Structure 1
Amino acid sequence: MRNTANSGFYKFLNWAAIALLVYSVLVAVGTVSGGFKLASGGSEGAKEIFAFATNPFIALLLGALATALVQSSSTVTSVIVGLVAGGLPISIAIPMIMGANIGTTITNTLVSIGHIRSKEEFQRAFAASTVHDFFNLLAVAIFLPLEIMFGFLQKLAEYLSHMFVGDADLSLKSYNFVKPLVKPAVGTIKDALGFLDGKMLGVAMVIAGIGLILFAVTALGKLLKKALVGKAKDILHSALGRGPIAGIGSGAAVTIMVQSSSTTTSLMIPLAGSGVFTTRQIYPFTLGANIGTTITALLAATSITGPAAEVALTIALVHVMFNVFAVTLIYGIPVLRELPLRLAEKLAQIGANNKPAALGYVLGSFFVLPGIIMMAVR
């Protein structure tokens, strides 16, 4: 009886900590937004600060590199939402969001390296991990040029966000319970840094907010794994092999549960390496993880109020639509659907026969090449 009571108490503490960390993410995003406004002097200053990233390709690399470094697209997209609310132009933020999709694939690719001692296991695991890489690269190759030419994601997201928060009669602002909850904590952080002033205060708030996001998202992922990873594994096992729709839906559900696409995709790599499931079976589950991870940016957008609320929701919706449209288009067209699979299997074959080449792919694609290009352009 006592063990049952203790177990219930620890579960309560775990979920209380999860709630506190969700609140911390909201506070952190509000802090980044407020700090960026102070540091940049408004939207015009923000444009100057990010002038080096006005090239969409550089913004894409910045998003990919930042995500690869922190190994969390949830963290990077939350920061981007805060920056957009603080004045970062959406035209720069959209390629950054797309880059975050590319950078997040590094975690499961690193997990596959754990199978490197066995050639057969490594080939299966590396193929299952890099199919995510190639899908996201293909998605960006298709949608970034279309977005640059037509701006359809931004326009559609602006229309939808205006429906939710733009009109006085239909606005959700009057129902926004987040602002009164978040505002005191953001104010406390600002007051704690009150020995600084002007732009220095703004910079300090941005740094504090990013630090809090890093801590909160990382800790949240660990607690959610502890609370839900058993259920997530059950969903994974029951869904894989039941067809693409079940795989995509289950991948999204598991990612929403654990708040980490990296966790979702990494759970699958050992199963692929051991031969329990094929890359083709795991492929749809990976795509569902792309969709599920967008919930974090939507959550972050709820912490933004006032005139910036609409633009914050816009970039969060861009993240959702980019992933949903990419899955629909690429997986819906057989020729496109097969391309990431074939490229992943070919790369895995090369990597299994030449393991330094596999390591070179990971380091070069995610760190060295983006860093060199960005420094050269700057």
Structure 2
Amino acid sequence: MSNLQTATVDAPLAEESAVSIPREAGKGNFIQWMAVSILIYLLVCAVGMIGSGFKLATGDQAKEMFEFATNPFAGLVVGTIATALIQSSSTVTSIIVGLVAGGLPVSVAVPMVMGANIGTSITNTIVSLGHVREKKEFARAFSAATVHDFFNLLSVVIFLPLEMAFGLLERIGSFLAGLFVVGDTSMGGLNFVKAATAPVVKTAKGMVEGMSNGLGGTLLIIGGIVLIFLTIHYVGKLLKQLMVGRAKEIMHAAIGRGPISGIMSGTFVTVLVQSSSTTTSLMVPLAGSGAFGLKQIYPFTLGANIGTCITALLAATAVDGNAAAALQIAFIHLTYNVLGVLVIYGIPFLRFLPVRLAEWLGDTASENKFVALAYVLGVFFIIPGVCLGVSSIL
């Protein structure tokens, strides 16, 4: 009888415990999403701080400050090296948006954005080195990582000359920004973002009052950059906890169902985690293990390029300065990546050129591991450094 009573008493307790666990999990998720919202708010505030600081520090001399980067190749190299060192194109493009809002010419910023695309692919290339002990596994993983590199390099080869000759991306970006901005005043739904972030930006500007314009502006820029680093780092960590499990499920469900499904899924997952490096790094072990072929993973990588544009677009909605130019460079980033996918994947003889190059490099690197090291150092640091030195002399 006592055993029956004990079981009867324990059953409701067990049910209550089972119910409480999901409630606690739901509460934890709510707090994490609130933290993500606050961090995103601070991100757009940080971009506003950079724009204000740049404007304060340079006054009307912004163009003169960037004379060294009037050469598009120098801008490309700056974007590549900065992103390779920081390992976050989202951070670099957000900083570029803030600088453009403060007076950096859009024409100078366009090659920097292209360079950020190249630099961001270093992360998944480094991840692939974890498979170096197994020859066949390393060949597959290194190929899967470097296909992103070759695609981005091919995009630059195609679009940088077009931009230099005709200003193609700058014109498209200007048109798209014109749909949302009149002069320097945001329209409709964008107004509330700028208004919401104004108190933080104004408070930051108030803290440097009394200093010289150069020192105060520099401190605002440094503070904004530090805040961008911190916010993107912690947003990434939180979103990985909240979404990476689902991201992996989406990848497994989408890869192999065709290129359109792969591109859309890559875009969606990257928007969720706000990091193309995370998305592309997730698929490297899948390729290394042989779970998916390179041609199956390739479209997913292209979608990651498009999804990463969300951070710059978000940042551009709340800037203190030239809102039209900030939104223009954010749309240029999006246009560049979308056109890259349409042109390279849409033209048959270009479609699998990155795949063939990546397969060749993967096989070569698996035979000689020093090739992999030389590739990483050469593409992301040595060659860009030499080009920057030569361009500054010329």
What TM-score bracket applies, with the shorter chain setting the length? over 0.9
Amino acid at match of 2:105: P
SS of aligned partner of 1:114? helix
1:113 maps to 2:129 = yes
Amino acid at match of 1:373: C
1:257 maps to 2:275 = no
1:226 maps to 2:244 = no
1:146 maps to 2:194 = no
- Give the Cα separation in 2 of the matches to 1:357 and 1:109: 13
In 1, are the aligned partners of 2:97 and 2:329 still within 8 Å (CA)?
A: yes
User: What TM-score do you get using the length of structure 1 for normalisation?
Assistant: 0.96
Equivalent in the alignment of 1:99: 115
- Give the Cα separation in 1 of the matches to 2:147 and 2:289: 17
C-alpha spacing 1:366/1:202, structure 2 compared with 1 (3 Å): same
Amino acid at match of 1:163: L
C-alpha spacing 1:368/1:171, structure 2 compared with 1 (3 Å): closer
In 2, are the aligned partners of 1:165 and 1:173 still within 8 Å (CA)?
A: no
- How many angstroms does 1:4 deviate by? 3.0
In 1, are the aligned partners of 2:51 and 2:320 still within 8 Å (CA)?
A: no
- How many angstroms does 1:213 deviate by? 0.6
C-alpha spacing 1:175/1:113, structure 2 compared with 1 (3 Å): closer
Alignment deviations for residues 43-82 of structure 1 (CA, whole Å, 9 cap, x no partner): xx11111111110001000001000010000000000000
- Give the Cα separation in 2 of the matches to 1:348 and 1:320: 29
C-alpha spacing 1:138/1:147, structure 2 compared with 1 (3 Å): same
1:350 maps to 2:368 = no
- How many angstroms does 1:375 deviate by? 3.3
- How many angstroms does 1:120 deviate by? 0.6
- How many angstroms does 1:2 deviate by? 3.5
Within a 5 Å distance, the mapping from 1:266-345 to structure 2 comes to 266-304=281-319, 308-345=322-359
1:197 maps to 2:212 = yes
Unaligned residue ranges in structure 1 (runs of 5+): none
Unaligned residue ranges in structure 2 (runs of 5+): 1-18
- Give the Cα separation in 2 of the matches to 1:30 and 1:147: 27
Aligned residue pairs total 374
- Give the Cα separation in 2 of the matches to 1:174 and 1:348: 47
Alignment deviations for residues 317-361 of structure 1 (CA, whole Å, 9 cap, x no partner): 101110001100100111101211111111111100110110111
1:82 maps to 2:102 = no
Between 1:212-221 and 1:181-190, the stretch displaced more is: 181-190
User: What TM-score do you get using the length of structure 2 for normalisation?
Assistant: 0.92
Alignment deviations for residues 154-196 of structure 1 (CA, whole Å, 9 cap, x no partner): 112111211211279x961576111221111112222333463
In 1, are the aligned partners of 2:73 and 2:387 still within 8 Å (CA)?
A: no
- Give the Cα separation in 1 of the matches to 2:90 and 2:275: 7
Amino acid at match of 1:220: V
- Give the Cα separation in 2 of the matches to 1:262 and 1:193: 35
SS of aligned partner of 1:303? coil
- Give the Cα separation in 1 of the matches to 2:332 and 2:183: 20
- Give the Cα separation in 2 of the matches to 1:198 and 1:254: 42
- How many angstroms does 1:367 deviate by? 1.5
Please, which of 364, 367, 374 is the counterpart of residue 388 of structure 2? 374
- Give the Cα separation in 2 of the matches to 1:66 and 1:259: 18
1:245 maps to 2:260 = yes
Between 1:152-161 and 1:253-262, the stretch displaced more is: 152-161
- Give the Cα separation in 2 of the matches to 1:16 and 1:171: 26
Amino acid at match of 2:101: A
1:5 maps to 2:19 = no
1:40 maps to 2:55 = no
- Give the Cα separation in 2 of the matches to 1:160 and 1:377: 32
Alignment deviations for residues 243-277 of structure 1 (CA, whole Å, 9 cap, x no partner): 00000000000000100000000000000000000
SS of aligned partner of 2:96? helix
C-alpha spacing 1:225/1:65, structure 2 compared with 1 (3 Å): same
Give me the CA root mean square deviation.
1.6
Amino acid at match of 1:57: F
- Give the Cα separation in 2 of the matches to 1:48 and 1:284: 42
Please, which of 157, 178, 182 is the counterpart of residue 166 of structure 1? 182
- Give the Cα separation in 2 of the matches to 1:206 and 1:173: 28
Equivalent in the alignment of 2:223: 208
Task: Give me the identity figure in percent.
Answer: 56
Please, which of 56, 65, 68 is the counterpart of residue 52 of structure 1? 68
Structure exhibiting the larger radius of gyration computed from Cα positions: 2
Amino acid at match of 2:139: Q
